[in-house]
Structure 1
């Protein structure tokens, strides 16, 4: 329970003396053990105060301490994969005093960020990138003659990503001097248990074994049959106790699996491996949420936590009630998916490692034979869906907007080009808040609009989302419905599923002079501005095909058309309206509102919308400014018709 988290700072006498990662070099093993305990206690406290990613950081405490003790960081490069593992790293590298600002406006990012610290060697948001980036750094050091160690730390299932496998294969070919550490916290590949595995792991990491291996290799290679026998014997021994043969075949020297919470063992092994040439692979076993029992028992549920809110005291406590909240959009999707699966046994659900986040838990339990979690492999997910659609199934792909970017080639060539019947539930569309620019769904309307055969819907509330998903599912081709993170305006959700006319908008509010064409979940903000300006508001609903007839009517009746979307202005829904007006030679003032040509930093989503003028007051200000500028120099429609 979150109530078990400390609410006052723990005593950290030794950690208080650590200013940068290099401060760990002079400490002995006993002191490093104490640092680990203090670091774990401080992480529990700080995340409780700010919220954020939780379990993964607790699992890499000992590894983080060992890496900064053994290696000369930041000269030596540590590249973290699945960046939410890096809270302990941030605490040890001069940012402890800023941890209270984690994921807040103008505060620390929740992931490694090069602009934040020289210790953050590579920006991380999406997974499975560390081996490729670290290999690039190792090759750069080799080419420039720099004596530098490069370490990639990959975990939380990121090794399952196709990009990681590609990098492993290439590293075996190029043979850079680099170390890949697999943090196997049971969110990735399996591990072998027992003392024999640990015993052999220690032998394989020992300097005696390594020197003997090198010496015997030189001798036995001259006697080919003896060398082949020795090589096969070593591989069979390793294969009995560890999943190392695969990595050896890829060209890595494999060590492991080791207990990732055994700090003395980690220190000894890393010291032994530090000066080895070529690609090295260290496999460690850790427990996600280590040191906090609820997180140990529920690593998925405690992947991230909200901050501990102070409870009111005294008379106020008796009258304080929780604010009512409707279902999250992901829950709307999950309910629709189950309802649809009951009706149609051709439906299959696919997710790239986002079962909980995408609202598919109930579906996975009720329809296990029709549920496919492909791990962190978005490209594979899309092409697999294409194959299913070719042979009579109706796949529904639940995917975050930011992760769909990783399967763009497959979306175009494998699905849209063949006009296959695949439905996309695109979650986390628009600005997502504290996770920041790596996770914003800021580009999906732009990159989807240009693909032939695509149908694209942007619902403005929960019921519209449900009905649009049903409509997209009925459409016999690729169709995508995009919806935001979190809750909506608490619209009444109908049990009945109704097929909507594709490409038809609806007028929500009638006004004068200005018409706001809203695409998606910003409709409440549009209405706030419209109420102040007495403007018309149209819920456009469909981005492709777009309701061109209503655009023609509005262009004829209003002085200014305002497009509104939680997407990049460049190439987004507003660009589609502009294109419609140009193609039809319609002369009317236009204002496109959306995400500007910039990456929006982390903070609360309400703050982010306010920063870029997509809240009610911001929309109102922009429209007033546009009307004033038009009045000052623009010709009237009567002038333009002369």
Structure 2
């Protein structure tokens, strides 16, 4: 096998050109077989095989730098840089990350995980290169989806005045930005990157610099000609040389155009067209489902371990459809995650009240603020870690005006295999720091439904955060009505009071059983509200309990435990406090159960900490 010959960075350059298609096929088979066992991002990686091969053939790694936008398409890059034997540990605790990591390889130039950042990072690297007088190439690879994010356009605006080489590769696998003009397009690409043309262009401009009117006339004439014949004029008008579109599955052709682009002393965009999921029929038919997939059967693409119960996204989907039916003011908003957040059904039933803002969380939040001012009830469904990108808009455009925007904060808490960039462990802190914001977390699937109904009638900013994975269906008998700022006592005893937030209620049940087996008296309270906290209950419970134990799947700083501790201390309540939270650190990839144990927030660890606190 050709892959057997690739064990280190640069080994691909020993493969003859006529064997590139065979190597691409081997890479696809390797990725399909490995990801079918570990899970991971499949469709995006299958679509970027030839592109990655071409980059490794045209560039000199690690001297040259590749910045992958998001980074979910970098598996082939890892495969070609000596990490082939690590794919069995992909996204597992202690194993290889599913995203680029500088700590893994000197060929990973920038740690990524969120979208639309690659051009900005690339520009920074170009500036650093030029200030140091070095000569390496910098290439930012961005997908058409990531190009919907405003940060990418801010970066391209900055790149417009560049007078040094910087390559942007636009991997277009869904949206046609511009149509190919066949032979004319190829001719213009070759002409504009030919060394003679480039030298003539620079010499003419240098000679005419003293006569601005002549230079401006030449530029206007040149641009008028391009408007007629050159695709991608939106980029040309930004001052970025455009090459393409080209076949993103022609390795030799991509190598040629990347080498040509390196001759241009300005920002260059190479627009390539690829097929997401290429080479694996289930992924080509359903690229969204195989974007981030759980382990699956290679022969048909079906999950290896089908879900037997509904997850929180399913519950949210059902609730949203019911709310949409009952109230024509309810509008659903997503940032390019209709499938992931569970809004696909709402979109199909109420297309006029569904908005996909693209990968543009900042815009989505302010858009929701405008909708709220217009008398509607916008529900923005978004992953916790992605909502971080819109902090200023939540604070300034929603909370400052006290607008009734509902934030359905999905994937809150530990999400597992995607690692540091995706763990939703900061939302309780940053959301509850905002004046006017209400923050809730459901203990089970029924409470998620009740909280959504509460939210649409609140008339103020509100965030409901819920975890990834199967929806908890325990504690069904405890379903007290949602009241503003009120917790829900589930078991009331004395001595020890477990105050648990959201997903931690389930763990608190197990903690209580362990402590009860030790003969201890333990109360269990579903906090419900992280902001405002139930101060009345805390004041009352302090009289019958010696220890409050706050439990949350969020970092300690700014979280629920810190708020409870502050209230107890400020009011001199006679009760000790033990805060169970995630340490203030970024959390690596691994299964949620494994991460909880490592972080000391699983039931056994919490119970042990409580017993030690009692002894102390």
Structure-1-length-normalised TM-score = 0.89
CA distance in 1, matches of 2:262, 2:306: 55
Alpha-carbon deviation of 1:391? 1.9
1:89-121 CA-to-partner distances (Å, cap 9, x unmatched) read 000001000011100111100100111111111
User: SS where residue 126 of structure 1 aligns?
Assistant: coil
User: SS where residue 308 of structure 2 aligns?
Assistant: coil
CA distance in 2, matches of 1:324, 1:231: 61
Indicate which of 57, 70, 87 corresponds to 1:82. Answer: 70
CA distance in 1, matches of 2:502, 2:6: 48
> Are 1:561 and 2:548 counterparts?
yes
Any unmatched runs of 5+ in structure 1? 1-12, 312-320, 630-642
User: SS where residue 85 of structure 2 aligns?
Assistant: helix
Q: Is the 8 A contact 1:488 1:521 kept in 2?
A: no
Q: Is the 8 A contact 1:529 1:620 kept in 2?
A: yes
CA distance in 2, matches of 1:55, 1:238: 35
Aligned position for 1:638: none
User: SS where residue 459 of structure 1 aligns?
Assistant: coil
CA distance in 2, matches of 1:363, 1:200: 47
Aligned position for 2:247: 259
> Are 1:278 and 2:261 counterparts?
no
CA distance in 1, matches of 2:29, 2:80: 13
More displaced 10-residue stretch of structure 1: 349-358 or 219-228: 219-228
Aligned position for 1:3: none
CA distance in 2, matches of 1:84, 1:339: 34
Indicate which of 390, 400, 413 corresponds to 1:417. Answer: 400
1:390-437 CA-to-partner distances (Å, cap 9, x unmatched) read 221221111111011100001101110111111110000000010111
Aligned position for 2:558: 571
Aligned position for 1:4: none
Aligned position for 1:626: 613
1:191-226 CA-to-partner distances (Å, cap 9, x unmatched) read 414634653464355415545554665678788787
User: SS where residue 140 of structure 2 aligns?
Assistant: strand
CA distance in 1, matches of 2:116, 2:43: 19
Q: Is the 8 A contact 1:471 1:498 kept in 2?
A: no
CA distance in 2, matches of 1:365, 1:135: 40
Q: Is the 8 A contact 2:413 2:424 kept in 1?
A: yes
Indicate which of 495, 508, 525 corresponds to 2:507. Answer: 525
Q: Is the 8 A contact 1:191 1:285 kept in 2?
A: no
Alpha-carbon deviation of 1:238? 4.3
1:485-513 CA-to-partner distances (Å, cap 9, x unmatched) read 1112225989xx99621111111123342
Aligned position for 2:120: 132
Aligned position for 2:38: 50
Any unmatched runs of 5+ in structure 2? 517-521
Aligned pairs (5 A) from 1:240-259 = 240=228, 243-259=231-247
> Are 1:329 and 2:312 counterparts?
yes
User: SS where residue 437 of structure 1 aligns?
Assistant: coil
Aligned position for 1:469: 452
Aligned position for 2:595: 608
CA distance in 2, matches of 1:158, 1:551: 46
Indicate which of 7, 25, 39 corresponds to 1:37. Answer: 25
Q: Is the 8 A contact 1:429 1:483 kept in 2?
A: yes
CA distance in 2, matches of 1:94, 1:627: 51
Alpha-carbon deviation of 1:455? 0.7
CA distance in 1, matches of 2:5, 2:307: 46
User: SS where residue 467 of structure 2 aligns?
Assistant: coil
Aligned pairs (5 A) from 1:114-263 = 114-155=102-143, 157-186=145-174, 188=175, 190-193=177-180, 195-196=182-183, 198-200=185-187, 202-204=189-191, 206-207=193-194, 209-211=197-199, 213-214=201-202, 231-232=219-220, 234-236=222-224, 238-240=226-228, 243-263=231-251
CA distance in 1, matches of 2:370, 2:563: 31
Alpha-carbon deviation of 1:227? 5.9
Alpha-carbon deviation of 1:49? 2.3
Structure-2-length-normalised TM-score = 0.93
CA distance in 1, matches of 2:192, 2:17: 19
Aligned position for 2:96: 108
> Are 1:399 and 2:387 counterparts?
no
Q: Is the 8 A contact 1:516 1:563 kept in 2?
A: yes
Is the alpha carbon distance of 1:173 and 1:218 closer, same or farther for their aligned partners in structure 2, counting shifts above 3 Å? Answer: closer
Is the alpha carbon distance of 1:432 and 1:201 closer, same or farther for their aligned partners in structure 2, counting shifts above 3 Å? Answer: farther
Is the alpha carbon distance of 1:260 and 1:309 closer, same or farther for their aligned partners in structure 2, counting shifts above 3 Å? Answer: closer
CA distance in 2, matches of 1:48, 1:68: 26
Aligned pairs (5 A) from 1:64-83 = 64-83=52-71
1:543-594 CA-to-partner distances (Å, cap 9, x unmatched) read 1111111111221111111000011111101111112112211121110001
CA distance in 2, matches of 1:56, 1:324: 24
Is the alpha carbon distance of 1:197 and 1:127 closer, same or farther for their aligned partners in structure 2, counting shifts above 3 Å? Answer: farther
CA distance in 1, matches of 2:209, 2:132: 32
> Are 1:375 and 2:362 counterparts?
no
> What CA RMSD, in Å, does the superposition of the two structures yield over aligned residues?
2.4
Alpha-carbon deviation of 1:235? 3.8
CA distance in 2, matches of 1:499, 1:126: 38
Is the alpha carbon distance of 1:242 and 1:54 closer, same or farther for their aligned partners in structure 2, counting shifts above 3 Å? Answer: farther
Aligned position for 2:470: 487
CA distance in 2, matches of 1:126, 1:322: 28
Is the alpha carbon distance of 1:570 and 1:473 closer, same or farther for their aligned partners in structure 2, counting shifts above 3 Å? Answer: same
Q: Is the 8 A contact 1:471 1:499 kept in 2?
A: no
CA distance in 2, matches of 1:262, 1:157: 22
Kindly tell me the number of residue pairs found equivalent between the two proteins: 605
More displaced 10-residue stretch of structure 1: 105-114 or 223-232: 223-232
Q: Is the 8 A contact 1:205 1:269 kept in 2?
A: no
Is the alpha carbon distance of 1:102 and 1:386 closer, same or farther for their aligned partners in structure 2, counting shifts above 3 Å? Answer: same
CA distance in 1, matches of 2:178, 2:57: 26
CA distance in 1, matches of 2:274, 2:600: 45
Indicate which of 8, 13, 16 corresponds to 1:25. Answer: 13
CA distance in 2, matches of 1:173, 1:337: 47
CA distance in 1, matches of 2:208, 2:480: 74
Aligned position for 1:592: 579
Is the alpha carbon distance of 1:54 and 1:260 closer, same or farther for their aligned partners in structure 2, counting shifts above 3 Å? Answer: same
Q: Is the 8 A contact 1:205 1:273 kept in 2?
A: no
